[in-house]
């Protein structure tokens, strides 16, 4: 492993650890409604830490800085920020996101509450159903500013949010992959 690799990966890992620790200790104070906005702010805070760490590591550290040729500092900064964002995305998509919003995991938890008795389908659906799912998501989306509630009507407020961008990419991918 080269000194450049080491600097890039250590900086990315350190900023992810910062993100994870802050997320871990602050998430208990954040309501489900506020979670999207809070998570986005936290990712940006981690990115700021990553860039600050990168500047110290690549620009101020004489051992690394001495070996840096023209343009290398910028490339290392970008690469380190990229690795940080990718790792954070994985944590959100694979750990935090499913815990926060997975229907399957919620079903498992509801059943665990009654373990070993089990639950009849109607009993399960009376505790957790489509209306609960809709209510939680509407609260979250209104709070994060993705949609607005005005005079009892929900409207998409922010046309270029994470979900719409993701939808556009997925739609294009579906068209290309399936030829539809």
Partner 1 sequence: MFYVLATLSIFCIAVLMHILWCRVFPKNRLQIAPFAFFSLVGLLYYGALAHLFFYGSSADRAVNLWNLPLALSAAVVYILLIPIYLALYFNTRVESPTQKILRIIHEHDGIGYEELASCISDSEIIIPRIDDLLRCRYIQMKEGAYCLTARGIVVAKALNAYQVLTGREAGG
Using CB under 8 A, which residues numbered 151 to 180 contact partner 1? 152-156, 163-164, 166-167, 169-170, 173-174, 176-179
The alpha carbon dihedral of 51, 17, 98, 170 has a sign of: positive
Stretch that binds partner 1, among 14-22, 41-49, 55-63, 116-124 (CB under 8 A): 116-124
| φ, ψ (nearest 5 deg) of residue 115 | -65, 135
Residue 105 in the binding site for partner 1 (CB under 8 A): yes
Residues 17-46 that bind partner 1 (CB under 8 A): 24, 27-28, 30, 32
Which residues, numbered 59-88, are part of the site for partner 1 (CB under 8 A)? 67, 69-72, 75-76, 79-80, 82-83, 86-87
Q: Does 5 bind partner 1 (CB under 8 A)?
A: yes
Degrees to nearest 5, angle at CA 158 with 156 and 160? 115
Two tokens at 58?
């690549």
Which H/E stretch holds residue 79?
helix 72-91
Size of the site for partner 1 (CB under 8 A): 82
Asked if residue 42 lies in contact with residue 81, where contact means CB atoms within 8 angstroms, the answer is: no
Calculate the CA 31 to chain-centre distance.
Answer: 16
Comparing CB distances to partner 1, the nearer of 41 and 164 is 164
Q: Compute the least distance from the CB of residue 48 to partner 1, in Å.
A: 20
């Amino acid at each position: 492993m080269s000194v450049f690799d080491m600097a890039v990966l250590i900086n990315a890992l350190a900023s992810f650890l910062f993100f994870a620790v802050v997320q871990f200790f602050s998430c208990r104070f954040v309501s489900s409604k506020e979670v999207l906005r809070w998570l986005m702010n936290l990712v940006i805070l981690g990115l700021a830490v990553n860039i600050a760490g990168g500047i110290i590591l690549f620009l101020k550290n004489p051992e690394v800085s001495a070996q840096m040729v023209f343009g290398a500092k910028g490339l290392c900064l970008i690469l380190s920020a990229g690795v940080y964002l990718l790792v954070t995305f994985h944590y959100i998509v694979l750990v935090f996101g499913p815990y926060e919003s997975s229907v399957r995991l919620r079903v498992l938890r509801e059943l665990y509450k009654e373990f070993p008795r089990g639950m009849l389908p109607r009993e399960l659906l009376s505790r957790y159903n489509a209306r609960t799912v809709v209510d939680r998501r509407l609260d979250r989306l209104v709070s994060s500013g993705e949609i607005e509630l005005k005079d009892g009507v929900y409207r998409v407020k922010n046309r270029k949010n994470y979900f719409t961008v993701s939808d556009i990419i997925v739609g294009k991918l579906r068209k290309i992959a399936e030829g539809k």
